[in-house]
Amino acid sequence: MNRKSAPSDPLTRHAVQTLSSTGGRMTTQRRLILAALAASPNHPTAEELYHQVLPKNPALNLSTVYRTLRWLEQEGLINSRHFEGEPHQDRFDPVADEKADHHHFRCRACNRIIEFDAPLLEQVKQIFTRQQGGQVESAALILYGLCADCAAAGSDPTPGH
């Protein structure tokens, strides 16, 4: 009941930093979208974020969400990803600065996305460079399959038909 600013998440704090250096402004919409992004383990789409924030700001517009996401992507604070089997929509993923570039597993049954590290990819990159020359700057790996839960559920349905 005293402090004005709630202890903001790292993503929002990062965003505030870039604002001050570029003459940008921290608006209500941006604050809400940033908070929603930081709180989502789900790699949400623009539409999903929109509906998450809407209750807290019924005037919010979808294009504001898109503009905010594009801004954050340009600032390097989030990444956009596309997963197979979905329509042509993007999902957004805060860049956790500590954790180096991570990769994704997507369950084709429950659509859950699991993040993981793949140190071996460094070797894959090196091998590629050795064979082809040039230089590799980044790698995007997505595994598809069944997560532990769905694999268990699938192999264990009530048997007698």
Partner DNA sequence: CCTTATCTGCAAATCATTTGCAATAAGACG
Partner DNA sequence: CGTCTTATTGCAAATGATTTGCAGATAAGG
The radius of gyration of the chain from alpha carbons, rounded to an integer in Å, stands at 19
In the list 20, 21, 138, 158, the residue contacting its own copies (rule: CB under 8 A) is: 138
In the list 17, 27, 123, 126, the residue contacting DNA (rule: CB under 7 A) is: 27
Binding-site size for its own copies (CB under 8 A) equals 40
With binding defined as CB under 8 A, does residue 137 bind its own copies?
yes
The strand pair at 103-107 and 91-94 is best described as unpaired
Residue 2 vs 20, nearer CB to DNA:
20
Strand partners, 93: 79
Q: List the structure tokens of 107.
A: 């369950």
The answer to whether residues 144 and 133 touch, using CB atoms and an 8 Å cutoff, is no
The answer to whether residues 45 and 30 touch, using CB atoms and an 8 Å cutoff, is no
- Name the site residues for its own copies (rule: CB under 8 A): 80, 82, 84, 88, 90, 105, 107-108, 114, 116, 118, 120-121, 123-125, 127-128, 131-152
